[in-house]
């Protein structure tokens, strides 16, 4: 009787997983594709927790000449069908497998200490070389200095090259060099360098580390006569001109490349097989809603593997965000409050896609300069896409891609980002947002209006509510209604777990502003029309001002009814009596809210 496999979360050791009968999604075809890649060195950037470390461990165990016992680990997987390939290459090469993901420091000195620790551990795995009769005493002394962390900085810069030469000398076989998360220490160096900075200034922490990595990786990969094949993983391809310059034997297979597209993350077939194995296939539709949605190259329906295994392991807890906060997102959080970034984020939360350019090469100094000086915001969207917060839908033109939030899990991240921004930057308490939103969806409109007025009073000064006028045509290209529309979407993001929030969609005979469609058909649905008028004039009496507001509210409610904006709610199974038709009129920056015609509402203003 076959023993049922179990899941092992948080471990990326191929041998441990297979030997202990844990479930392994078969990615062994990657071994074949990697080896026969036309380039000696390849870089495959993918988001965190998408299987990079485990794949490198798998490759190591297949090729490593020191792990001949690992051959049987592959017997049940696809690569074993490549009989001739396995005969020629399995466990035939010395392998260096180095991860840089733990090198996280706020300054160069601490960074170098962490770096020495990692290289010392790497050398320790090959300490048998100290007994080799093929290495001379000078090489052994150098090896000992690295092992004991006594070598100087230059020795560590050449430590990867030197180790490959020692291994080639000892085994008389060329070496496979694997580097995991090469960009983690680079990102930490950037985050902890005063900005904006001159990337040519060699005194900064970031520039110092870039210079170090140029030699460390460059000597090991570029022109290394002992190299058989090389694979580097990370999130980004960082600064071609500074790290990967003149690597003629080097190729990047980015998120938009069709090659290796299905080798990181779970395909839909793999996900279905997993769910069936663990008797959870009846949950597939919800799993798809929460964790599907990524597209790498021309392969769509890629699922987040970290989230899938965590959901399966802890399925009784229900559906929730597992992947979020597993990596650092400070680079994103620092920039989302820029007006044009914030507006795009709020569009994304409502299910819209945006068109943006994606850069193959990422230069950190440009990330600051583009936000501060230029109109081009491509780098922040590149960072968000490569980090896994967005996914490409399709290529539009010349490096421009349609981007969207991939799934409900990531939508919750954006919701929390905006709520945290409102809380930290604009001093709104989360409980105020929740209470006010609850008044809205429970049709307590007078209470909602009071809460909404307070929120607006505390925050609206932080928003740019100026109309944008085209200088050439003199036409308004961003009316105030659109500005307040975006503002409302940001506030309502807190409801996205329970409501499908849509905006500017065709319904009935026109386009509504905002619609809240409940996932629970017994709850109220909401359709909102937003209007904007000028604030009260100096010579305008209260009654005239109230009449102007009431007229605009009437216009908004009549527009909802005349154009049947509520049609989509009915089509989604919401009963007529459960539909809230809401008018919000901003007089200047003060909102007035009602869901009643004026003849039913006796007084708008005191």
Is the domain of 41 the same as that of 98?
Answer: yes
* pLDDT category of residue 601 using cuts at 50, 70 and 90: very low
State the pairing for strand pair 41-45/227-234. Answer: parallel
What CA–CA distance (Å, rounded) separates 565 from 456?
26
- Among residues 245, 263, 388, 403, the alpha carbon closest in space to that of 327 is found at 388
Is the domain of 293 the same as that of 244?
Answer: no
**Whether the Cβ atoms of residue 543 and residue 598 lie closer than 8 Å to each other:** no
Is the domain of 226 the same as that of 281?
Answer: no
Question: Minimum mean pLDDT among 157-166, 381-390, 413-422, 595-604: which range?
Answer: 595-604
* pLDDT category of residue 70 using cuts at 50, 70 and 90: very high
Does residue 229 fall inside a structural domain? Answer: yes
Does residue 110 fall inside a structural domain? Answer: yes
Is the pLDDT confidence value at 477 over 70? Answer: no
Is the domain of 382 the same as that of 474?
Answer: no
Is the domain of 70 the same as that of 159?
Answer: yes
What CA–CA distance (Å, rounded) separates 323 from 204?
33
Does residue 580 fall inside a structural domain? Answer: yes
Is the pLDDT confidence value at 325 over 60? Answer: no
Does residue 457 fall inside a structural domain? Answer: yes
Above pLDDT 70, what percent of the chain? 81
- Among residues 325, 335, 100, 101, the alpha carbon closest in space to that of 195 is found at 335
Q: pLDDT by residue (tens digit) across 454-475?
A: 877 766 544 444 444 444 555 5
Beta strands in 407-562 (DSSP E): 468-469, 476-478, 499-503, 506-507, 510-511, 514-518, 525-533
Is the domain of 272 the same as that of 155?
Answer: no
- Report cis status (omega within 30 of 0) of the bond before 196: yes
Boundary residue ending a domain (205, 221, 252): 252
**Whether the Cβ atoms of residue 226 and residue 174 lie closer than 8 Å to each other:** yes
* End-to-end C-alpha distance for the chain, whole angstroms: 79
Q: pLDDT by residue (tens digit) across 570-580?
A: 999 999 889 99
Average pLDDT of the chain to the nearest whole number: 84
**What mean pLDDT do residues 313-342 have?**
73
Is the domain of 20 the same as that of 161?
Answer: yes
Is the domain of 207 the same as that of 100?
Answer: yes
Is the domain of 473 the same as that of 376?
Answer: no
Structure tokens given for 242: 């500074």
Contacts of 216 (CB under 8 A, 6+ apart): 156, 157, 158, 159, 160
CATH number for 161: 3.40.50
Is the pLDDT confidence value at 168 over 70? Answer: yes
Does residue 419 fall inside a structural domain? Answer: no
β partners of residue 401: 356, 395
Question: Minimum mean pLDDT among 9-18, 99-108, 416-425, 572-581: which range?
Answer: 416-425
Structure tokens given for 431: 């409980």
Is the domain of 498 the same as that of 390?
Answer: no
Question: Minimum mean pLDDT among 101-110, 146-155, 487-496, 547-556: which range?
Answer: 487-496
The residue segments making up the domain with residue 375 are 330-411
* pLDDT category of residue 108 using cuts at 50, 70 and 90: very high
Q: Which residue blocks in 94-158 are alpha helix, DSSP H?
A: 108-124, 137-147, 153-157
**Whether the Cβ atoms of residue 281 and residue 272 lie closer than 8 Å to each other:** yes
Is the domain of 445 the same as that of 565?
Answer: yes
Does residue 423 fall inside a structural domain? Answer: no
Q: pLDDT by residue (tens digit) across 253-288?
A: 999 999 999 999 999 999 999 999 999 999 999 999
Is the domain of 124 the same as that of 211?
Answer: yes
State the pairing for strand pair 510-511/579-587. Answer: unpaired
DSSP 354: E
């Amino acid at each position: 009787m076959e023993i049922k496999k179990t899941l092992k979360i948080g471990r990326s050791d191929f041998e441990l997983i297979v030997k202990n009968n844990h479930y392994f999604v078969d990615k062994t075809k990657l071994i074949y594709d990697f080896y026969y890649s036309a380039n000696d060195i390849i870089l495959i950037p993918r988001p965190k927790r998408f299987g990079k470390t485990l794949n490198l461990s798998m490759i190591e165990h297949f090729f490593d000449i020191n792990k001949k016992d690992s051959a049987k680990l592959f017997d049940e997987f696809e690569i074993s069908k490549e009989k001739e390939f396995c005969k020629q290459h399995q466990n035939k090469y010395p392998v260096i497998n180095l991860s840089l993901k733990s090198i996280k420091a706020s300054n160069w000195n601490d960074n170098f200490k962490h770096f020495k620790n990692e290289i010392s551990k790497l050398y320790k795995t090959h300490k048998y070389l100290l007994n080799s009769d093929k290495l001379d005493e000078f090489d052994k002394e150098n090896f000992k200095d690295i092992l004991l962390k006594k070598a100087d900085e230059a020795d560590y810069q050449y430590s990867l090259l030197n180790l490959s030469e020692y291994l080639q000398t000892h085994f008389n076989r060329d070496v496979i060099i694997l580097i995991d998360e090469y960009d983690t220490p680079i990102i930490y160096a950037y985050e902890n360098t005063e900005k904006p900075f001159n990337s040519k200034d060699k005194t900064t922490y970031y520039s110092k580390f870039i210079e170090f990595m140029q030699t460390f990786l460059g000597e090991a990969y570029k022109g290394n006569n002992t190299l058989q094949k090389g694979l580097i993983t990370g999130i980004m391809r960082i600064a071609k001109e500074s790290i990967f310059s003149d690597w003629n034997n080097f190729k990047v297979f980015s998120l938009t490349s069709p090659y290796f597209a299905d080798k990181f993350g779970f395909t839909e077939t793999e996900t279905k097989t997993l769910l069936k194995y663990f008797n959870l296939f009846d949950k597939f539709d919800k799993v798809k809603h929460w964790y599907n949605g990524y597209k790498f190259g021309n392969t769509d329906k890629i699922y987040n593997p970290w989230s899938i295994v965590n959901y399966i392991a802890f399925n009784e807890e229900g559906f929730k965000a597992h992947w979020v906060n597993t990596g650092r997102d400070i680079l994103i959080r620092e920039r989302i409050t820029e007006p044009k970034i914030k507006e795009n984020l709020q569009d994304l939360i409502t299910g819209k896609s945006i068109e943006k350019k994606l850069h193959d090469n990422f230069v950190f100094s440009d990330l600051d300069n583009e936000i501060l000086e230029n109109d081009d915001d491509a780098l922040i969207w590149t960072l968000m896409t490569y980090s896994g917060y967005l996914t490409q839908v399709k290529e539009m033109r010349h490096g421009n891609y349609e981007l969207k939030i991939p799934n409900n899990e990531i939508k919750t991240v954006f919701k929390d980002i905006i709520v945290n921004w409102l809380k930290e930057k604009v001093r709104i308490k989360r409980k105020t947002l929740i209470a006010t939103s609850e008044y809205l969806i429970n049709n307590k409109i007078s209470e909602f209006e009071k809460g909404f007025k307070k929120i607006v009073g505390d925050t609206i000064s932080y928003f740019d509510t100026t109309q944008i006028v085209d200088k050439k045509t003199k036409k308004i290209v961003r009316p105030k209604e659109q500005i307040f529309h975006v503002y409302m979407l940001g506030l309502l993001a807190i409801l996205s777990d329970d409501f499908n929030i849509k905006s500017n969609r065709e319904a009935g005979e026109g386009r509504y502003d905002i619609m809240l469609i409940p996932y629970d058909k017994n709850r109220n649905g909401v359709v909102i029309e937003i209007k904007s008028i000028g604030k009260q004039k100096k010579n305008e009496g209260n009654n005239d001002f109230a009449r102007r507001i009431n007229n605009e509210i009437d216009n908004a409610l009549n527009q909802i009814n005349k154009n049947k904006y509520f049609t989509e709610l009915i089509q989604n199974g919401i009963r007529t009596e459960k539909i809230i038709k809401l008018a919000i009129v901003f007089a200047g920056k003060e909102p007035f809210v009602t869901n009643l015609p004026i003849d039913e509402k006796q007084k708008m203003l005191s």
